[in-house]
Each structure stands twice: as structure tokens, then as C-alpha cells.
Amino acid sequence: MNFKGRDLLTLRDFTPEEIGRLLDKAAEVKKDPAAYRKALDGKTLAMIFEKPSLRTRVTFETGMTQLHGHAIYISPADAGLGKRESVPDVARNLERWVNGIMARVFAHQVVEDLAAHAGVPVINGLSDDFHPVQALADFQTIREAAGRYEGVKLAYVGDGNNVTHSLLLAASRTGVSISVATPPGYEPRKDIVSEAVKTGRRTGCTVDVSNDLARAVRGAHFVYTDVWASMGQESEAQQRKAIFAPFQVNAKLMAMAGTDPWFLHCLPAHRGEEVTDEVADSPKSLIFQQAENRLHAQKAVMVLLMGD
């Protein structure tokens, strides 16, 4: 299994075995951080942001520091992707100086274009279509809480967005059954669902997408939600509030699972909208463990992709 020099743009590009290796590495890095103290000695990661961030910026930057490397934050204004400078030219400049590029973008094609024109690994730190490093941290958290992947059911409730897509791909690769419920018209992309169904047949899990909340949540060990309007959809936020209101994760919805499930959220949360304080702050909430695991999972990714 070879990760060196590869890009991480979407989990679709990785086999179940490779995702398993990435997740095992994330657990190793978390357990024994000292063993990786010099893993990226003298290496630099450029971090390009077209959108705001707390977790992604701080965990990639802290991760590089802990691996004895260095990270450079490039703000939306400085990146000016496709405006100040073309995406291929940005990639051709950066590859001359740094050992890896992390990018948070609007159009997914931008990370594809960066990867096509940079000879160093490109890591997707969220695009409109995918959030792969989030899903890795989430599945690290799921295994820590449940102790396994086999026989585990994850329910995702709300908008079929970038986070949903990466969860579908991660679930099908780890063998976790996933059930998604969205309002009509907000389902995840069909090609991604089909891919997850196909991979799930091989790993022994089911993939279910519907508009039926009760069906999604019933028997779930984990209930996951995300904001109703993602970054870039601010103008739709008001309209979406009415449409998504029945999909709020509150105590009543959690009780519908019948399993006292854990609660997951990638954050930032809009408390009082997609989730109540009662659920987000309950003892079953793993939201800050997920946030912590962003650090460990991404250190694992960087060690495997950018290490010697």
C-alpha cells in the first residue's frame, strides 16, 4: 500500500483497505505522538483558504508544528484563486517551495486543478462536494466510541451536502451501515450514493437514502447532522430554515433511535437550528472528540502522503 506523493481529494479514490490503513495510522498517531515528532522535519504545508475555518486551519497548522514541519496560511484575498492568478499558476508556484498543499475551496474542480498542476500532494480541506479529512476524523471517533465498525449503524439527518458525501464514502469503506434522511430535493448526489452502495456490498454494509426521518434513525448507534446552509449558501439560509425544521436533532428525535445513540456534528453548529443545546451538550455528544481527532487524523494523512 503506497500513499507517498498521492493527493487526498475525495475518499472515492481510496480502497476500503487504504481507508483502513489511514484510520489505523490515525489511531497510532494519537496513541504515540512522540513517535512522529520528527516525521515531517523541515517540510512545509501551504494552506489555501477560499472560505473561513477554525478547526481545519488550526488542526493542520498545529499538526505540522507537532511533526516538526511548518504551515503557511494563505487567506482568501492572498490566494485569489482564478482572480489574482490562475489555479494552475498558483500550483506551479507552490510546488517549487512547499512539500504539500491543503486547500479549502468552493468548486471541487479547483482542488482537482491544483492537484493536476502541482507535483506535491494536494489535500482537500473541504470543497462544495466533499470533506474527506472530516470523515476520517469522524470514523476515528466512531471506532473509539463503538469499539468496532462491523454491525454499526450511522444515521445522517439534514442536508445532503459535502459532509454527507464523504460520510457515505467512509461508511461504505469501513463497513458501517449508513442511513441518510433529507428533505425532498436535498438528497446527496446519486453517483456518490451508487458508489457507496457498490462498495458497501463488498464490505458488508447497507446504504440507505430517503426522506424518512424515523426510518433513518431507527436502531442507529450514531446520529449525525450538519448545518442546513453550508458556506456559500448563505442567501438560501432563511428559506432552508423552514424546509429543514422537521429535521432538527433534538431529544425527541434521538429517542426515536431506541438505542440511546451517540451524537456527531462536524461543527460549526448552529445551535437551536439543526441541533438543540440539550443534544449537543449531552453526555452522548462526541462533537469535541471529533474536533480533536481532526488533528490526529490529518497528522496521519500528512505523514503518509508527505513523509519520506
Query: Active-site residue numbers?
Result: 104, 131, 134, 226, 266, 294
Contact call for residue 166 and ligand NVA (CB under 6 A):
no
Q: Which of 10, 44, 56, 177 binds ligand CP (CB under 6 A)?
A: 56
Q: Looking at beta carbons only, is 132 or 175 nearer to ligand CP? A: 132
Closest listed residue to residue 209, CA positions, set 240, 167, 271, 264: 167
| Cell numbers given for 132 | 474527506
- Return the range that interacts with ligand CP (CB under 6 A); candidates 20-28, 49-57, 154-162, 298-306: 49-57
**Cβ(62)–Cβ(54) below 8 Å:** no
Q: Which letter does DSSP use for residue 187 in this model?
A: P
* Backbone angles phi and psi of 55, in degrees to 5: -60, -50
The percent of the chain in helix, strand and coil, each rounded to the nearest 5, is 50, 15, 35
- Chain residue whose CB lies nearest ligand NVA: 230
Closest listed residue to residue 155, CA positions, set 298, 299, 246, 253: 253
Q: Which letter does DSSP use for residue 152 in this model?
A: -
Encoded one letter per residue, x for contact with ligand NVA by CB under 6 A and - for no contact, window 205-234 reads ---------------------xx--xx---
Q: Which of 23, 45, 67, 163 binds ligand NVA (CB under 6 A)?
A: 163
Q: CB under 5 to 8 A by kind: which of ligand CP, ligand NVA, none does 95 bind?
A: none
**Cβ(182)–Cβ(188) below 8 Å:** yes
Contact call for residue 161 and ligand CP (CB under 6 A):
no
Min CB(104)–ligand NVA separation in Å: 9
Whether residue 268 is preceded by a cis peptide bond, meaning omega within 30 degrees of 0, is yes
Contact call for residue 289 and ligand CP (CB under 6 A):
no
Min CB(161)–ligand NVA separation in Å: 5
Residues in contact with ligand NVA by the rule CB under 6 A = 126, 161-163, 226-227, 230-231, 266
